[in-house]
Amino acid sequence: MDKKQRPARKDKKQRAWDVYLELTEAASWIERKLRAPLDAFGLTREEFRLLVALYRGGPVTLSDAMERLGRSRQNLYLTVRRAEEFGWVACAEARSAPAEARESQRPKERRGKPRFGPQVLVVSLAPAGERLIGNVLPKQEAIVKALVQELDSREMDTMVRVCRKLRQAEALPFWAEVIRQHREFERAEAEESESE
């Protein structure tokens, strides 16, 4: 019985590159297929994701929405404000849960009095947004189902697991080094082109 030979370093790089190309091409293909219905309803992809999160999960704070959608506060805030302008979402400011601190550490005049944290933005689905997402979501779900119909449930589970694993790799210290090296390379390239 022959042992499989380990792929050469060049083969691993080529395989990694092939994976990258296939993943990005598949993602672009799916994005193009899902784009048309959203365009027809005047929705951006980010607005759609926000409305789906609210439709399925109910009202949410801006911080929780950032975590669920993986967006920066500024970008999500702009999406929320645009959706609010169209009447799809409603925003309200509320006080956060009482701040945590030992009572004995508070000034005497404030002891025993209620305390609250800073105000937080709570986003909820407005009736117009509920009607809109009620029309758009079934169409998007039908398209997604048609796009992955060639995959069995085991393959779909594997795809989800692999994609999550790739995203989690970003937290590894390796990435900081890769990004640092890339920035150094870009700086060197820029300096070289300036000197020419």
Average pLDDT over residues 47-61: 92
Cα distance between residue 78 and residue 82, in whole Å: 6
In degrees, rounded to 5, the angle at the alpha carbon of residue 131 between the alpha carbons of residues 37 and 78 is 70
Closest CA to 140 of 26, 51, 33, 50: 33
Express each pLDDT in 75-118 by its tens digit. 888 999 999 999 999 988 865 545 444 556 666 776 666 555 55
Helix (H) or strand (E) holding 176: helix 173-195
Q: What is the pLDDT of residues 172-185, one digit of tens each?
A: 666 667 777 778 88
3-state secondary structure of 178: helix
Q: What is the pLDDT of residue 170?
A: 64
Domains in the chain, CATH or no CATH each? 21-100+114-149 (1.10.10.10)
Q: Provide the sign of the torsion angle of the four alpha carbons 43, 55, 90, 94, taken in this order.
A: negative
Task: Specify the pLDDT at position 1.
Answer: 47
Report the range of poorest mean pLDDT among 49-63, 75-89, 97-111, 152-166.
97-111
